[in-house]
Amino acid sequence: MTAAAPLDTSAGLEVNRQALEHGARTETRMRLRLTLPALVVVVVLMVCPILWLLSLSLVGQDGRLGLENYALFFSEPVYVEMFLNTFLIAFIVTIICVLLGYPVAYLLAILPPKWSGILMLAVLVPFWTSGLVRTFSWLIILQRNGIVNKSLIGLGIIGKPVALVHNMTGTVIGMVHIMVPFLILPLYASMKAIDGNLMRAGANLGSSPTHAFFRIFLPLSLPGLVAGMIMVFVMCLGFYITPAILGGGKIKMIAQRIQESISLYPTWGPASALAVLLLLMTALCLFISLRLVRRLASGR
């Protein structure tokens, strides 16, 4: 009896490897074809305007290329103060949104579907109203003869009307009202993904509800919380209507200064430089925040 010839496995493995590489190349080309229209839209609507804005920021008052517009920012303390004021207001609004939005998102996550749907409707109603209308509504409510001052005087809490608009107080109140839903929605989505059995397991092991919340629920909800905070903070940096109306010209943010620069100067260079600096600072904040979110999500 003759011995069986050994199988040539190396040739078969090479054929399989080539087939896998061909399939991977084909899949890559197909993905490129499918995403090409979207990439073209992104380049035309986002990349090209940013490059155009960058080119405008390099054109000085005399029409020459240079860093004159950026030097103006670093040489004038008012610009630095305005940037710091913008980031301070954005930070304050973000913190207040967290304090108000986290309990609401938690209730949405634990309530029965019927009541959760009603509460979610109340959260989404502001989206159906124009931000300009809401801002003017706050202007009427918070003015010296508004509902708030009249109520406080009627209750004997204050003796005369207090200034609640045309200052930082009114600006923060109006911005918080607009921004809270943007924190609640991603936070609610993160909370709904948390397994409720984890809290019950903690209770079975002798943990109190408060202890289980801070040791189990809160850490698991941090990725959604940070994502909502990023969204609120970045959107606050570009606010224009609310600070312009409720701030009464006394609260200056970057977007207002950009508009004033376009109106005052014959070129768009100073305004473009401010926009580019704001874009770079926002990108830096996003980079740091995304690294933090990834670290929280990975549990490190």
Instruction: Enter the tokens of residue 10.
Output: 């190396």
pLDDT given for residue 7 in this prediction:
47
pLDDT given for residue 297 in this prediction:
63
Q: Which residues contact 265 (CB under 8 A, 6 or more apart)?
A: 61, 271
The domain defined by 77-298 carries CATH number 1.10.3720.10: yes
Sign of CA dihedral 67, 69, 70, 74: positive
- What is the band of 176 on the pLDDT scale with cuts at 50, 70, 90? very high
pLDDT at 35 over 60: yes
Neighbour tally for 100: CB within 10 Å: 16
pLDDT at 92 over 90: yes
Cα–chain-centroid distance for residue 194? 23
pLDDT given for residue 71 in this prediction:
80
Average pLDDT over residues 108-123: 85
- What is the band of 1 on the pLDDT scale with cuts at 50, 70, 90? very low
More confident residue, 98 or 11: 98
* pLDDT per residue as tens digits for the range 211-246: 878 888 888 888 888 888 888 998 888 888 888 888
More confident residue, 245 or 265: 245
Segments in the chain forming alpha helices (H): 9-42, 48-57, 68-75, 77-110, 113-124, 131-142, 147-154, 168-192, 196-204, 209-212, 218-237, 241-246, 254-264, 269-298
Question: CA–CA separation, 19 vs 8, rounded Å?
Answer: 18
DSSP 125: G
Q: Are 170 and 89 in contact (CB under 8 A)?
A: no
Question: CA–CA separation, 43 vs 100, rounded Å?
Answer: 38
Alpha-carbon torsion, ordered 242, 245, 248, 253, to 10 deg: 30
Q: Which residues contact 263 (CB under 8 A, 6 or more apart)?
A: none
What are the residue boundaries of the structural domains of the chain, listed by start? 77-298
Q: Which residues contact 283 (CB under 8 A, 6 or more apart)?
A: none
Neighbour tally for 104: CB within 10 Å: 19
* pLDDT per residue as tens digits for the range 65-79: 778 778 877 777 887
The radius of gyration of the chain's CA atoms, rounded to the nearest angstrom, is 28
pLDDT at 266 over 70: no
pLDDT at 96 over 90: yes
Question: CA–CA separation, 17 vs 30, rounded Å?
Answer: 20
